[in-house]
Amino acid sequence: MTFASLPDFKSLLGAAPQPDMDARSAAAARNGQLTKPQGSLGRLEDIATWFAGWAGTERPRIERPQVIIFAGNHGVTAQGVSAFPPEVTVQMVANFEHGGAAINQLSKNAGASMSVHAIDLDRPTADFTQAPAMSEAECVAALRVGWNAVEAGADVVVVGEMGIGNTTSAAAIAGALFGGTPADWVGRGTGVDDAGLAIKTRVVAEGVARHGELDPLGILCALGGRELAAMAGAIARARTLRIPVILDGFICTAAAATLAKAVDGALDHCVAGHVSAEAAHGRLLGALGKEPILSLGLRLGEGSGAALALPIVKAALACHSDMATFAQAGVSTG
Ligand SMILES: O=C(O)c1ccc[n+]([C@@H]2O[C@H](COP(=O)([O-])O)[C@@H](O)[C@H]2O)c1
Ligand SMILES: Cc1cc2nc[nH]c2cc1C
């Protein structure tokens, strides 16, 4: 099963299965019988019931979590929108491959496999103030990298990214999809100064003015980057396989948002792992109706916030699937 065009991709996403409502109802009933006051595990209870529907079983477990990191380079960096030079993208990919980045430690901490996909780093996207960042063919190729990266046997997926300049891309996508002013969506990213922030705001305004009328997947092509398209492809593939996804920060969520705008319910299998310190991330999660699990002031990307939320999701399933019921434990009900 694959796709050769954006309409094909959208059709596959639109045809993705719904969660197993019987498994979800059975999980909700089980949750009501576990040895705790009703609702006392708070959000963990919702997470477990939600997960059960996607996993298709009343008592789901996480045994094969998969972290997938995508990297891409952005032509728009020539405008001076990042605090770091674009060569950091390839340098950080080497760091991921040698096990030296934060995401290596966080994946290990969560018991997850981790893979890195560097996509055409020697061929940055076009500067989106001048032309579409990617042609449809380039965008489809990147979507396919993400689609093919998801292991069918994974029981939960984390997608993350590395790409100097990509908060500018994410801000432009968010502005094009949800409106508002460029300032609503622009932040300091890796730490630009006031002059850099002013450039970034202008660049986002120009990008939205030039490409903002496109449809959601057209916006992904014209304002996104290869790592954003790959994240969208992986999230879509997980949706077709009914594998739950933990979303990461602002860039990951902006990529995901293009799917939500293209197809209703496309992100129903996604939970927001955290809210980033990039202020626009909270705004974007609000627009998508997603409540973050963690709020730790992270602004790293590379899947870090989602990988940190993974042990929380695991804990929710451990309680849900392995606790005794009132009847089993001989505990009196209230
Ligand atoms: O995930 C986030 O919310 C996040 C917020 C700020 C920065 N980042 C990371 O920093 C890089 C983009 O920042 P910038 O300033 O180059 O646009 C990219 O590699 C992201 O992984 C990530
Ligand atoms: C060093 C560095 C590490 C990163 N990881 C994700 N984005 C990043 C940006 C920089 C600059």
Q: List C-alpha distances in Å: 37 to 242, 269, 316.
A: 31, 27, 16
Mean pLDDT in residue range 1-19: 96
What does the pLDDT look like over 263-322, one tens digit per residue? Answer: 999 999 999 999 999 999 999 999 999 999 999 999 999 999 999 999 999 999 999 999
What does the pLDDT look like over 250-264, one tens digit per residue? Answer: 999 999 999 999 999
* Ligand 2 and 192: CB distance under 6 A: no
* Ligand 1 and 159: CB distance under 6 A: no
Q: Considering every ligand atom shown, identify the ligand nearest to the alpha carbon of residue 249 and give its number.
A: 1
pLDDT score, position 200: 98
Q: Does the complex come out with an ipTM higher than 0.90?
A: yes
Dist. CA 176 → ligand 2 center (Å): 25
When the pLDDT of each residue in the chain is averaged and rounded to a whole number, the result is 98
Which residues of the chain form beta strands (DSSP E)?
A: 65-71, 113-118, 156-162, 245-247, 270-272
- Ligand 2 pocket test, pick from 116, 168, 300, 304 with the greatest ligand atom count within 8 Å of Cβ, gives 300
Q: Are 316 and 60 in contact (CB under 8 A)?
A: no
* Ligand 1 and 189: CB distance under 6 A: yes
Strand pairing category for 156-162 and 270-272:
unpaired
* Ligand 2 and 131: CB distance under 6 A: no
* Angle, in degrees to the nearest 10, between helices 21-33 and 304-322: 70
Report which protein residue has its CA nearest ligand 1's atom 6.
Answer: 189
Q: What amino acid positions are annotated as catalytic residues?
A: 302
- Which pLDDT band holds residue 329 (cuts at 50, 70, 90)? very high
Which 8-state DSSP code applies to residue 55? H
Q: Which amino acid is at 225?
A: G
Q: SS3 for 65?
A: strand
- Which pLDDT band holds residue 1 (cuts at 50, 70, 90)? confident
> Which residue reads 């969660």 in tokens?
19
**Closest alpha carbon to 125 in 72, 52, 179:** 72
This model's pTM is above 0.90: yes
Q: Which atom of ligand 2 is nearest to the CA of 92?
A: 3
Dist. CA 161 → ligand 1 center (Å): 8
* Ligand 1 and 190: CB distance under 6 A: yes
- Dihedral of CA atoms 72, 235, 94, 187 in degrees, nearest 10, equals 60
Q: Which amino acid is at 102?
A: A
What does the pLDDT look like over 231-246, one tens digit per residue? Answer: 999 999 999 999 999 9
Q: Are 93 and 118 in contact (CB under 8 A)?
A: yes
What does the pLDDT look like over 137-184, one tens digit per residue? Answer: 999 999 999 999 999 999 999 999 999 999 999 999 999 999 999 999
Q: Which atom of ligand 2 is nearest to the CA of 103?
A: 5
Dist. CA 162 → ligand 2 center (Å): 7
* Ligand 2 and 162: CB distance under 6 A: yes
Q: Which residues pair with 258 in a beta bridge?
A: none
**Closest alpha carbon to 93 in 302, 310, 312, 329:** 302
Q: Which residues, 6+ apart, have CB-to-CB distance to 18 below 8 Å?
A: 265
Mean pLDDT in residue range 78-106: 98
* Ligand 2 and 88: CB distance under 6 A: yes
Q: SS3 for 246?
A: strand
Distance CA 87, CA 7 (A): 34
Dist. CA 301 → ligand 1 center (Å): 6
What does the pLDDT look like over 25-78, one tens digit per residue? Answer: 999 999 999 999 999 999 999 999 999 999 999 999 999 999 999 999 999 999
Q: List C-alpha distances in Å: 58 to 117, 153, 225, 292, 309.
A: 34, 18, 38, 24, 22
Dist. CA 106 → ligand 2 center (Å): 15
Distance CA 334, CA 95 (A): 54
What does the pLDDT look like over 207-229, one tens digit per residue? Answer: 999 999 999 999 999 999 999 99
